[in-house]
Amino acid sequence: MANKGVSQTLQIVSIQHELSMSIGLSIDLVPMLTTFMKRLRQRLSLNSAMIAYQFGDTLTSPAYSALSVPSTLVEENNNVLSDLITSYYQSNNNDVCHKNIKGLDYYLFLIPDHGVLVLERAHREIDLKILQAIRPLLNKLAISIHACSQHEELKLEVENRKRVEQKLILQSLQDPLTGIANRNQFNIKLADHLESSLASGVYGAVYIIDLDRFKVINDSLGHSFGDDLLKVITKRLQQQSDKFEVLARISGDEFAVISPQLDRDKYKAKTKAEAIAAKLNSAFSEALCFNGQCIKITLSIGIQLFPLDNNPQYNSAHQNSIVNNADLAMYAVKRTSRDSYQFYNESMHAKNERRVKLENALYSAIQDNEFEVYYQPIVNGSALINAAEALLRWNSKSLGPVSPAEFIPVAEESGRIVDIGNWVLEQVCRNISDIDAQNRPNTLNYISVNISPRQFGALNFEHDFISILNKYSVPYDKLRIEITEGVALENISSAVSRMNRLVNRGVVFMLDDFGSGYSSLSYIHQLPLKTVKIDRSFTANIANNPNNQVIVNAIIDICVHFNLECVVEGVEHENEKNYLMTKGVNKFQGYFFYRPNSAAVLMELLEQQHAGH
């Protein structure tokens, strides 16, 4: 009997030792528990073993994970086991629970803080001493489960962090709207290609592409439509991808392209780059049709070959110069022709430096009282002044006198034109009030002011314009608005709506430089105009120029047909005036009569005219 007792004790110790050694063999939870249950099943001759476990501090049925050996146990006995586990756990019983269900013996052990161990055996019960030997192992099992759980949580945290990092990396390199490269990725790719070109001696090219008039489309049709349009534009650019390697969206309406490895010969590389730019332009010769609308988009493209000749090694300054040069070339296209391309040249840099100086000086020009409004009289056939055009002059303290032809486009592009335009309106209204205050008959019917597309399109233009007139008690028809066809072409329907609202309040519109644009005839009947001004280019030497005579005669006929007043600009010679009078023109403006001059001179001319009558 003693030998039998010793043998049983050794057996129990062996079982306990082997089970203990199986705990913690793996840091991964499922493999560790599976190994432990396989040892249990083998050493105790079990039908199956199951552990209901969880990662939390409290087991709340049925919110647990079940693992069994064999794996089919959970599926086949789910309801029985679930009820059994829930009942045992809720009883708060730390002892081994023994249940016999349909001839099968089930033994339930509490795994402290982590779940329940279930053993299933048929035919005969498990010896009580063996059950007691298993219980101490469950504390070790609980510790191992906790360690595995922490490991799983740490792994999950690391994986989530990696996913977030990968997502952030992708976001930092990809344009979220179009899915193509963004500026960051473009810069990385350009750095790689620049280094490669420096090493191989083969030229590549960078293209900066701006979408002409995209802002107008975006503002008039909505940002959602604009986003869809950008996606369609991207697809059309991608269709030309055999011509380049990198396509990136680097700002709202700007794209960039890299064509590496063009040719070792600079002239041949330039020829190939030019052909690629021409292909990109021609790819947009047809309108983009989507969402029930067809939109005509054109591209302004600036090109710079790389590497630069004066920089034989890679550095960030070299790369920045390439991009800046292509950018300058693109802006040169926008300021001239649009729908075209240009290579960078040195003169662009000088022009850009001048432009930067102008833009900086414009910011303080109003505050420093550098602007002055001049007036050029408009006369009738008897050379009597009955109107005038306001013209802005700028005598910069740092740059000296600057031509309006130079600073107005800069003010327009930089946005300063709105503040400058409002300042001009204030000055003109003040001068009109001064003229009207003179105690004499006033023959000055109106003064006209040029309003730029950007100022006219400003959100508060109507409010600001009316407020300034009211401030100086100027009649609404006394300060006339001169617009060019560029104002109307920005958005014809929006322009007409705004003009009609102002006309309904008594404001009068004049169309400046009529005939100089290609589309004047297509929209003149839509605009609520009072006066048309014929451009100087058609009146120069008109008495001896049959071609200009045909054009001017046609414009005069149009004015008669639409009941529009006609003013001819730029009259510099008497024979020009005489010819135009024979065609029925009775309003003139030009050096033959008066040059632009200050408000004081205009008031003096009006005083002399009054005294002469």
Q: Which of 50-54, 92-96, 263-267 is predicted with the least confidence, judged by mean pLDDT?
A: 92-96
Measured CA to CA in angstroms, residue 445 lies from 217, 475, 602 at distances of 38, 11, 13
Residue 60 is given by DSSP the state: B
Taking alpha carbons only, the member of 349, 351, 330, 352 closest to residue 341 is: 330
pLDDT tens for residues 426-456? 999 999 999 988 856 778 999 999 999 889 9
Q: Residue 391's pLDDT is what? A: 97
Cα(250)–Cα(208) distance, integer angstroms: 9
Residues 517-558: tens digit of each pLDDT: 544 566 677 889 999 998 888 888 888 888 889 988 988 998
* Cβ neighbourhood burial of 545 (10 Å; 0-12, 13-18, 19+): middle
Q: When comparing pLDDT for 120 and 67, which is higher? A: 120
User: Which pTM was predicted?
Assistant: 0.61
In the sheet with 246-251, reading across from the earlier edge strand, the strands are 246-251, 254-263, 203-211, 299-306, 340-343
Superfamily of domain 183-344: Reverse transcriptase/Diguanylate cyclase domain (3.30.70.270)
Average pLDDT, the chain: 87
Please provide residue 46's backbone torsions phi and psi, each rounded to the nearest 5 degrees.
-90, 150
Distances (CA, A) of 147 to 26, 90, 151, 153, 329: 10, 25, 6, 10, 64
CA 267 to CA 389: how far, in whole Å? 51
Question: Looking at residues 149-177, what average pLDDT do you find?
Answer: 84
Nearest to 118 by CA among 166, 164, 173, 66: 66
The structure tokens listed for 306 are 């790389």
Q: How far is CA 190 from the centre of its chain?
A: 21
What CA–CA distance (Å, rounded) separates 298 from 253? 12
Domain boundaries, the chain: 12-153, 183-344, 357-612
Cα–Cα distance for residue pair 9/132, rounded to 1 Å: 12
Closest residue by Cα to residue 572 from 613, 531, 540, 609: 540
Average pLDDT, integer, range 274-302: 90
Q: Name every residue whose Cβ is closer than 8 Å to that of residue 239 and which is 6 or more positions away in sequence.
A: 283
C-alpha–C-alpha distance, residues 469 and 505, integer Å: 12
Please write the tens of the pLDDT for every residue from 225-257.
Answer: 889 999 999 999 999 887 788 999 999 899 999
pLDDT at 490 over 50: yes
- Indicate whether 35 pLDDT > 50: yes
Domain spanning 357-612 has what CATH number?
Answer: 3.20.20.450
> Tokens 């149009």 belong to which residue?
558
Q: Which of 255, 227, 226 is nearest to 241 (CA)?
A: 255
- For 291, what's the count of Cα atoms within 13 Å in the CB-facing half-sphere? 12
| Distances from the Cα of 462 to the Cα of 221, 429, 447, 459, 495, angstroms | 21, 16, 18, 8, 12
What is the DSSP track for 442-497? ----EEEEE--HHHHHSTTHHHHHHHHHHHTT--TTTEEEEE-HHHHHH-HHHHHH
CATH number given to 12-153: 3.30.450.240
In 291-445, where do the E strands start and end? 293-295, 299-306, 340-343, 371-380, 385-396, 400-402
Q: CA dist 577 to 374, 513, 541, 565, 568, Å?
A: 23, 18, 10, 16, 9
Q: How far apart are CA 459 and CA 253, in angstroms?
A: 21
Tell me what the mean pLDDT of segment 119-139 comes to: 86
User: How wide is the angle at C-alpha 338 spanned by C-alphas 332 and 342, nearest 5°?
Assistant: 45
Contact criterion met (CB below 8 Å) for 570 and 536: yes
- Burial pattern 261-288, b for ≥16 Cβ within 10 A else e, equals ebbeeeeebbebbeebbeebbeebeeeb
59 pLDDT higher than 60: no
pLDDT at 58: 45
- Pick from 577, 443, 576, 559: nearest CA to 510: 559
pLDDT at 522: 60
- What are the structure tokens assigned to 6, written together? 């010793």
Indicate if the pLDDT at residue 262 is higher than 90.
Answer: yes
pLDDT for the residue 77: 57
pLDDT value at 56 more than 70: no
Token code pair at residue 394:
């700028």
3-state DSSP call for residue 277?
helix
How does pLDDT run across 339-393, given as a tens digit for each residue?
Answer: 899 999 888 888 888 888 999 999 999 999 999 999 999 999 999 999 999 999 9
Radius of gyration of the chain from Cα atoms? 43
pLDDT in tens, 585-610: 999 999 999 999 999 999 999 999 88
* For residue 4, pLDDT beyond 80: no
Residue with structure tokens 């040059």? 595
